[in-house]
Structure 1
């Protein structure tokens, strides 16, 4: 639900902004979204004793250094309609929208063993050419027995499990005999 509301605000914001402005706005909202991970901040925002204007003033003080009228107006509008809580959703939808617009995606490689930087680069280049985009991959050690590549924004998940490959080899040998 929040994502749908966030998309409406972003659609209106995109009409009046350039791609550069949208990236700046996205960075500001990403920083604001980080504040929503702080319990004290959430208590203040959700406190019914604090009125809309005070909540708006807190957020406006946080973004004052950006000197962006678009951001200030959006925050005022969100506060006016009691929708300050969707700021993290707005930040995420903006990030995804910019990724689609610029065709710049990030992904994660999961594996239980170390993956060489050259392999990461090769995977990144291969996926980039396959999907006609710029895909940056980073490695994250996990308990996955094999290698898994996940580019969430593109909906791509590729995995090679060591146990599955071993079972397929055994199956193939058994069929050959």
Structure 2
């Protein structure tokens, strides 16, 4: 539900701003979205005993350094409509929208083995050529026994499990015999 609301707000922002301004607002809202992961902050924002105006002022104080009247007015609008809770969804949807318009995506490589940074860069470049985009991959060490590449915004998920590859080799050898 909050995703649909967020998309409406993004549509309004896109009509009012150029691409550079949208990227700047995206950075601001990404920072705000991180605040919603803080339990104390979330308790204040979701507390019905705290007035809507006080909640709005808290968020306005958080973005004061941006010195943007458009951002301030937008946050006031969200506060007036009791929509401050859509900020994380708004941030995610705005980042996704910008990624699609600029064809710039980020993804994650998961593996239980260390992978050289040049291999990860080459993997990102190769996927980027295939999907006519710029794809940047980050490495995350995990329990996955193999390699898994995930670029969520493009809907790409590729995995190579060591056990599955071993099973396929054994099956292939058995068929050859």
**Short-chain TM bin:** over 0.9
1:59 aligns with 2:59: yes
Over aligned residues, Cα RMSD in angstroms? Answer: 1.0
Cross-structure match for 2:140: 140
Q: Post-superposition shift, 1:112?
A: 0.8
Post-superposition Cα deviations, 1:124-156, rounded to whole Å, max 9, x if no partner, equal 110010001000011111111111111011000
Cross-structure match for 1:84: 84
1:22 aligns with 2:22: yes
Which runs of no fewer than 5 residues in structure 1 stay unpaired? none
Provide the TM-score with structure 1 as the length reference: 0.96
Cross-structure match for 2:3: 3
How does 1:93-172 map onto structure 2 within 5 Å?
93-172=93-172
Q: Out of 40-49 and 111-120, give the one that drifted further.
A: 40-49
Provide the TM-score with structure 2 as the length reference: 0.96
Q: Out of 59-68 and 147-156, give the one that drifted further.
A: 59-68
Q: Distance in 2 between matches of 1:92 and 1:22?
A: 13
Q: Distance in 1 between matches of 2:144 and 2:54?
A: 47
Q: Post-superposition shift, 1:42?
A: 1.4
Q: Out of 104-113 and 56-65, give the one that drifted further.
A: 56-65
Which runs of no fewer than 5 residues in structure 2 stay unpaired? none
